[in-house]
Structure 1
């Protein structure tokens, strides 16, 4: 038994740690040759006990080091919950609480989860071949653009929303769908006095607003590289609004576009946007999803996990939790095979069926995203009805 993990993001590294913990041979590869320059944070709530199962004790117990604010207690974060404000008044519209929440900086988390894991970087997948007649440890081969390859019993594609493994499995059916929204995702620093004021006034976990202009805006802490120097603290903004025939993505300066849309927003958010440095880079971006379609796992030789299996929007904070759930289910299935408790085809088929069921969250999260852009009906959205609880009961 040898597992090839394609993709060293949250799902892939969780799988690799789980396999290592259970003494199952594996290799993990990633197409990047250096860390991406983009950064964001993820919200883990209901999947934290599963994460604990997958990780070595020392890594799990030091997860707080990956938080934007390492001093924030997970139980306190859960009590503070996920705050949704009325963007015009700043008043609370909804708070979704959980027993414990960890908000994790994704770049810090990837580095943390790579501890003791030999990730082979610079491996962009170009093909997969099924090796008929080979022994159990050589059933499938992943081929990379540098001319190298890896052979094993099973490939799990944890290579993100634009997954190459998914494309190999499904061809054109693997294509993501772009939602009819403009989307901004960028980080920045602030003058020290404004950074301190924002840090004091904002919800320490998630602080977002829905505005009567049918716009979503969230302002988040990303990092405190020097706790005593607020001018070094890094924040980031997520913003979305609908696109229509009269409003497409402009070619002008993106920050000017955002500032032009802040009329009528409550003072804290408006002040932050006004004080974003003028030279901040806001790259073009889109909200993309993939509504999961069943795949042929080629007799338990190729499967998917995380965003590769069900890529969704962030407005209900489920993507990271589902990535951990996939990792836990996958590792449990492969461990059962190793112990002789299950046949590998039955185990992977059962895992795939679970991943397909979990993909119901793609549509629910899409509905939540669009509901933020429909202020009049926002109180009917999944954010109000479900909070940050999973669509399925696990």
Structure 2
């Protein structure tokens, strides 16, 4: 037992896991400083996020009641089927399997969210504790606390440092320098865009594409991923009704789409894109699905050009174990994985929930601080690492395996 006292926690990174840690700690009476390298939330990181009970119940734990209700209200409508579905190129079903994660039941099951909306909810009410445009570049640790150095030369000091700064984490690079980053692709997936879900498009899109996050594949190796975002309540109206002090950007229903480009098309690095690149890629994607169900070319052809961007995928080979200290890691900083089973954000939020629980125990004097961090880290490894291993078998879990089984039948 130790003397109870509030903790002051430094958090490197203002993504989902870092903000969730901040919300949960503030909810439990602690203070935080969140250092986010971006100056705003406008960097394109994706659109639709599939949520399961790992992530959704973590949000229930770390958020205030009204912010959690706002998350539920702005989530997509309840799935007709809680399954991952693989279709062939004419949108007939090849295979399905239940969504991964714990049971997801109740009146309002977890479905999916618009990433930017969730980040705005997680940023709510943090005020000056969220410091945008301030990247953590390094730290020093002693028996009494942790000091961080910022890119602008500033410093800050706290009881604990949480590295929530993504796959290229500066905190992990110092804490676990032996951990490698592996840059790789996921065949057929990587260029993303949005398609407004208009009444006309609802008439065109087959019902099989509206069930959740669906992937369609053909025998030439082309793939198309479709995720439907159709919120339970209009996003900005929900905020006014549930949490009037929270501002959410309006976002209407849409399809998130990622599609293969036609053979021979080179997708340039994001830094080399010109004004013509999105249109070139959209045209190439249409060619890739030209022989598919007619709705495929219709969907791709309606992708908003200013929404198209590329995600450079990668993963880390997570460290097997390490001795705990005042510096710990959550989310992609701890176990960055490929998106092939839709678990990255959910496990990141679960990390946040369990770290908050352990730090709160330490703050109440129920556990030593280092022991509490060690307990969190062991639980994180036990739960997240097996899912990380699953993501490395892309084809089995992301479409190709279903097509191979169909060929063998």
Q: Would you call these one fold, judging by a TM-score over 0.5? A: yes
TM-score by structure 2 length?
A: 0.78
Structure 1 position 326, deviation (Å): 0.5
User: Which stretch shows the higher mean deviation, 329-338 or 164-173?
Assistant: 164-173
Deviations 1:57-110 (A, max 9, x none): 11111213433x4xx2xxx32x42234232223122215254322201110111
Map of 1:158 onto structure 2: 164
Map of 1:392 onto structure 2: none
**In structure 2, do the counterparts of structure 1 residues 81 and 264 end up closer, same or farther at CA, with 3 Å as the change threshold?**
farther
**In structure 2, do the counterparts of structure 1 residues 177 and 324 end up closer, same or farther at CA, with 3 Å as the change threshold?**
same
- Rounded Cα–Cα distance in structure 1 between residues aligned with 2:90 and 2:203: 21
SS of the residue 1:257 aligns to:
helix
- Rounded Cα–Cα distance in structure 1 between residues aligned with 2:72 and 2:187: 34
- Rounded Cα–Cα distance in structure 2 between residues aligned with 1:372 and 1:289: 16
Q: Is 2:132 the partner of 1:116?
A: no
Q: Is 2:25 the partner of 1:19?
A: yes
Map of 2:3 onto structure 1: none
CA contact (8 A) 2:179 2:316 kept: no
**In structure 2, do the counterparts of structure 1 residues 226 and 346 end up closer, same or farther at CA, with 3 Å as the change threshold?**
closer
- Rounded Cα–Cα distance in structure 1 between residues aligned with 2:370 and 2:28: 20
Task: Identify which of 132, 150, 155 aligns with 1:149.
Answer: 155
Deviations 1:212-251 (A, max 9, x none): 2233311223467799xxx964432123589xxx968455
- Rounded Cα–Cα distance in structure 2 between residues aligned with 1:348 and 1:201: 44
Task: Identify which of 359, 364, 369 aligns with 2:390.
Answer: 364
The count of residues paired between Structure 1 and Structure 2 equals 360
Q: Is 2:357 the partner of 1:332?
A: yes
**What 5-or-longer segments of structure 2 have no aligned partner?**
1-6, 237-250, 269-276
SS of the residue 1:315 aligns to:
coil
TM-score by structure 1 length?
A: 0.80
Map of 1:184 onto structure 2: 191
- Rounded Cα–Cα distance in structure 2 between residues aligned with 1:295 and 1:95: 32
CA contact (8 A) 1:127 1:142 kept: yes
Structure 1 position 204, deviation (Å): 4.6
Detail structure 1 runs of 4+ shifted over 4 Å in the superposition: 222-227, 294-297, 375-380
**In structure 2, do the counterparts of structure 1 residues 211 and 101 end up closer, same or farther at CA, with 3 Å as the change threshold?**
farther
- Rounded Cα–Cα distance in structure 1 between residues aligned with 2:395 and 2:136: 32
Structure 1 position 268, deviation (Å): 2.3
Map of 1:261 onto structure 2: 288
- Rounded Cα–Cα distance in structure 1 between residues aligned with 2:374 and 2:301: 52
Structure 1 position 173, deviation (Å): 2.6
- Rounded Cα–Cα distance in structure 2 between residues aligned with 1:375 and 1:369: 5
User: Which stretch shows the higher mean deviation, 316-325 or 162-171?
Assistant: 162-171
How large is the Cα RMSD of the aligned pairs? 3.1
SS of the residue 2:177 aligns to:
helix
CA contact (8 A) 1:4 1:155 kept: yes
- Rounded Cα–Cα distance in structure 2 between residues aligned with 1:124 and 1:171: 19
- Rounded Cα–Cα distance in structure 1 between residues aligned with 2:264 and 2:401: 18
Map of 1:125 onto structure 2: 136
CA contact (8 A) 2:194 2:303 kept: no
- Rounded Cα–Cα distance in structure 1 between residues aligned with 2:380 and 2:235: 40
Task: Identify which of 373, 377, 385 aligns with 1:348.
Answer: 373
Alignment map for 1:39-54 (pairs within 5 Å): 39-47=46-54, 48-54=56-62
Task: Identify which of 258, 283, 291 aligns with 1:238.
Answer: 258
Deviations 1:11-32 (A, max 9, x none): 1111111111111222222111
SS of the residue 1:309 aligns to:
helix
- Rounded Cα–Cα distance in structure 2 between residues aligned with 1:180 and 1:194: 28
User: Which stretch shows the higher mean deviation, 364-373 or 211-220?
Assistant: 364-373
Structure 1 position 376, deviation (Å): 6.3
Return the structure number with greater relative CO, CA threshold 8 A, min gap 6. Answer: 2
SS of the residue 1:28 aligns to:
strand
CA contact (8 A) 2:72 2:110 kept: no
**In structure 2, do the counterparts of structure 1 residues 174 and 129 end up closer, same or farther at CA, with 3 Å as the change threshold?**
farther
Map of 1:391 onto structure 2: none
Alignment map for 1:1-394 (pairs within 5 Å): 1-38=7-44, 39-47=46-54, 48-67=56-75, 69=76, 72=77, 76-77=78-79, 79-92=80-93, 93-96=95-98, 98-99=104-105, 100-118=109-127, 119-130=130-141, 132=142, 136=144, 139-171=145-177, 173-179=179-185, 181=187, 183-189=190-196, 193-194=200-201, 197-198=204-205, 202-222=209-229, 233-239=253-259, 249-250=266-267, 253-276=280-303, 279-280=305-306, 282-294=308-320, 296=322, 300-357=325-382, 358-368=384-394, 371-372=397-398, 374-375=400-401, 378-379=404-405
- Rounded Cα–Cα distance in structure 1 between residues aligned with 2:392 and 2:405: 15
